[in-house]
Chains A and B, each alone.
Chain A
Amino acid sequence: MKKYLYILKTQIIKSMTYEFNVYGNIIMQTIIMITSAYFWRALYTGRSVVDGVDVGSMQTYIIISSALSVLLITNVERRIGSSVEKGSVATDMMKPISLFGMFLAEDIGNIIALIFQNMIPILIIGTLMIKPPLMADVRDLPLFIISVIESFLINWLIAALFGMMAFTAINNNALIQVKKHLIRLLSGSIIPIWFFPDSISGVLTALPFVYIYQLPLSIYIGRGERADILMQMGIQFIWLIVLSALFFFAESRITRKVMVQGG
């Protein structure tokens, strides 16, 4: 365990090395956040509540969604892809360490750095330019934190599963893009799926994506009955179990297929 913590710490140092990436991401997230806030303000013109959510809550939703997106940045899929492509997977595998344990530690380390470099600036910009994103009911905070941790893990497991394809398919860049946009669109990160037609939102509630963004955000803005929220957290937990099982199954056989390119 200690070695993984040290990897995490080292990753924080590494993530602090490149400052430009940091500003790039802040600017991009700010643009997305501000435009969607104005977008929602325009859509709400003349109406105070749509589907049980008022415009203020919707703006909070957008700000927290931007902040949450920082916690949901994963590197594992590109990390595997590039280390297979360059052949540096060799040096990862010759250490007495679990490969995916190391990748998880690196991702968490990276996120810890990003909380300071990205998430806090985004929250400050959101507060100043849109509104203070206050939680609807502070008593839901434990539920919110649990659901965020689970959504982090679900998101990471999906990324790791996509990353594993690089061990065999070699170039997984296209797949990573597909995955990224699927999650963006289907998770309610920009447009909550309660605005979608019933048939589509019905399908989406069965998929894991909405439990990455929309569930914790709904808890934060206090949308939905408590019983309904608890049921959704149950589904979120089931998805976590299913994806973990899938992950451990795939992990046990994937390292046998490792291709080391070059040299």
Chain B
Amino acid sequence: MIDVNKLCKDYIIKRKGAGLSGALKGLVSRNTDTIHAVKDLSFHIDEGEIVGFIGPNGAGKSTTIKMMSGILTPTSGSVLIDGEDITKHRKEVVRNIGVVFGQRTQLNWDLRLGETFELLKHIYRIPQNDFDNTLNVMDDILGIKELIDKPVRQMSLGQRVKGDLVASMLHSPKVLFLDEPTIGLDVSAKYSLRKFIKEINEVRKTTIVLTTHDLGDIRELCERLIIINHGTMIEDGNLKEITDRIAPYKTLVAEFYDEKAPTHDRCELISREGNVARYRFNKSDITAADIISDLSSIKPLKDVSIEEAGIDDIIKIAYGR
């Protein structure tokens, strides 16, 4: 569905010195720096996938999303959406895509939400039947109809993002790009957003590319992760497979009756707080059951629990490289 081929984007920025003298020099001289925001990125996304596109701030995520959605022209390389090159046929290809930017809106501040939807209906030439159907489906999931007569400038962030999501789905795109959709939302708004994303993926087979810093989004939505840093790809694969590869350990949390937690030679004691000790072990070396039985043979155990390696661990390791 999406083919990204050797995608590069360079930004040329003016170099300005610090302070007043720098500002004055900047008026006459033209020193420029080239920044390689995205370097030689290639990947393929199939129909119906939900892909988490993650990386630290400034990694080039948004730049890549913008190139994939036809907003920025790549310096070199190509993006094919459903086999068509987006830079060459922008107006045709954008019919197949929807974009939501969590930090900006495509809704019109001066209009009621419904008026923006009507405008989009005409811009995308959506037949009235399809338009009504989509709106009904969206109403079931997000309860959008109660917002339809509200001016956008009076909406809360959560309502606005809901409106943006519906606006991006009105023309039933095959691909939906979500750039930090849950940023700044409260727990329940995040929950309904994730539910929405899952449903349209299941029901409409919409391919979804999602950038986010929210670990919950990744955990609940993404089967596949593409991790980039400094404009290059550092990981691409199944969430579980990446976890097994970069962080193949679990943590056993054991509570004893006193503060002297024993050590174990096949796992690492990583912390001790009061009566609670944490052991990190590699899944392929030993099972949790073995550790528990070994530990309890040394000292009586009060309570145990097991923590999976968190996505935050993976991300920390991956970003740190």
A residues touching B (Cβ–Cβ < 8 Å)? 2-3, 6-7, 10, 13-14, 17-18, 86-91, 93-98, 255-260, 262-263
**9 pairs across A/B with beta carbons < 8 Å?**
A3-B125, A7-B123, A10-B119, A88-B104, A91-B101, A94-B106, A96-B92, A258-B71, A263-B103
Set of chain B residues within 8 Å of A3, measured between Cβ atoms:
122-123, 125
Set of chain B residues within 8 Å of A257, measured between Cβ atoms:
73
In the bound complex, do residue A14 and residue B110 qualify as a contact, i.e. CB atoms below 8 Å apart? yes
- Complex Cα–Cα for A95 and B170 (A): 12
B residues touching A (Cβ–Cβ < 8 Å)? 11, 62, 66, 69-73, 90-92, 94-95, 97, 99, 101, 103-106, 108, 110-111, 115, 118-120, 122-125, 179-180
Set of chain A residues within 8 Å of B94, measured between Cβ atoms:
94-96
Chain B nearest CB, measured from A97 CB (Å) = 6
- Complex Cα–Cα for A153 and B319 (A): 54
- Complex Cα–Cα for A7 and B124 (A): 12
Q: Other than the known A10-B108, A13-B111, what 4 A-B pairs have Cβ atoms closer than 8 Å?
A: A3-B122, A3-B123, A14-B108, A18-B110
- Complex Cα–Cα for A255 and B69 (A): 14
Set of chain B residues within 8 Å of A256, measured between Cβ atoms:
73
In the bound complex, do residue A87 and residue B104 qualify as a contact, i.e. CB atoms below 8 Å apart? yes
Please name the residue on chain B nearest to A89 by beta carbon: B71
Chain A nearest CB, measured from B266 CB (Å) = 47
Q: Which 6 pairs across A and B sit closest by C-beta, in order of nearness?
A: A91-B106, A6-B122, A14-B110, A263-B103, A256-B73, A3-B122
Q: Given A14-B111, A90-B71 in contact, is the A2-B95 Cβ separation under 8 Å?
A: no
Set of chain B residues within 8 Å of A7, measured between Cβ atoms:
119, 122-123
In the bound complex, do residue B123 and residue A260 qualify as a contact, i.e. CB atoms below 8 Å apart? no
Set of chain B residues within 8 Å of A90, measured between Cβ atoms:
66, 71, 99, 101, 104
Q: Given A14-B111, A90-B66, A93-B90 in contact, is the A263-B119 Cβ separation under 8 Å?
A: no
Please name the residue on chain B nearest to A97 by beta carbon: B123
In the bound complex, do residue A6 and residue B119 qualify as a contact, i.e. CB atoms below 8 Å apart? yes
Set of chain B residues within 8 Å of A93, measured between Cβ atoms:
70-71, 90
In the bound complex, do residue B91 and residue A10 qualify as a contact, i.e. CB atoms below 8 Å apart? no
Set of chain A residues within 8 Å of B95, measured between Cβ atoms:
96
- Complex Cα–Cα for A88 and B104 (A): 7
Please name the residue on chain B nearest to A256 by beta carbon: B73
Which of B69, B94, B119, B180 neighbours the largest number of chain A CB atoms within 10 Å of its CB? B119
In the bound complex, do residue B91 and residue A96 qualify as a contact, i.e. CB atoms below 8 Å apart? yes
Set of chain A residues within 8 Å of B92, measured between Cβ atoms:
96
In the bound complex, do residue B73 and residue A258 qualify as a contact, i.e. CB atoms below 8 Å apart? yes
Chain B nearest CB, measured from A262 CB (Å) = 8
In the bound complex, do residue B119 and residue A91 qualify as a contact, i.e. CB atoms below 8 Å apart? no
Chain B nearest CB, measured from A16 CB (Å) = 9
Chain A nearest CB, measured from B170 CB (Å) = 11
In the bound complex, do residue B70 and residue A86 qualify as a contact, i.e. CB atoms below 8 Å apart? no
- Complex Cα–Cα for A114 and B34 (A): 45
Chain B nearest CB, measured from A261 CB (Å) = 10
Chain B nearest CB, measured from A88 CB (Å) = 6
Indicate which residue in A10, A98, A259 contacts B115 across the interface (CB closer than 8 Å): A10
Set of chain B residues within 8 Å of A260, measured between Cβ atoms:
66, 71-72
Q: Given A13-B115, A87-B104, A91-B105 in contact, is the A96-B123 Cβ separation under 8 Å?
A: yes
In the bound complex, do residue A263 and residue B124 qualify as a contact, i.e. CB atoms below 8 Å apart? no
Chain A nearest CB, measured from B42 CB (Å) = 22
- Complex Cα–Cα for A145 and B125 (A): 34
- Complex Cα–Cα for A246 and B120 (A): 31
- Complex Cα–Cα for A106 and B115 (A): 15
Please name the residue on chain A nearest to B102 by beta carbon: A263
Please name the residue on chain B nearest to A102 by beta carbon: B123
- Complex Cα–Cα for A258 and B180 (A): 22
Please name the residue on chain A nearest to B167 by beta carbon: A91
Set of chain A residues within 8 Å of B70, measured between Cβ atoms:
93-94
Set of chain B residues within 8 Å of A86, measured between Cβ atoms:
104
Which of A96, A255, A262 neighbours the largest number of chain B CB atoms within 10 Å of its CB? A96
Set of chain B residues within 8 Å of A96, measured between Cβ atoms:
91-92, 94-95, 123-124
In the bound complex, do residue A94 and residue B104 qualify as a contact, i.e. CB atoms below 8 Å apart? no
Set of chain A residues within 8 Å of B91, measured between Cβ atoms:
96-98
In the bound complex, do residue A2 and residue B71 qualify as a contact, i.e. CB atoms below 8 Å apart? no
Chain A nearest CB, measured from B126 CB (Å) = 11
Q: Given A6-B122, A14-B111 in contact, is the A94-B72 Cβ separation under 8 Å?
A: no
- Complex Cα–Cα for A87 and B101 (A): 11
In the bound complex, do residue A263 and residue B104 qualify as a contact, i.e. CB atoms below 8 Å apart? yes
Set of chain A residues within 8 Å of B72, measured between Cβ atoms:
258, 260
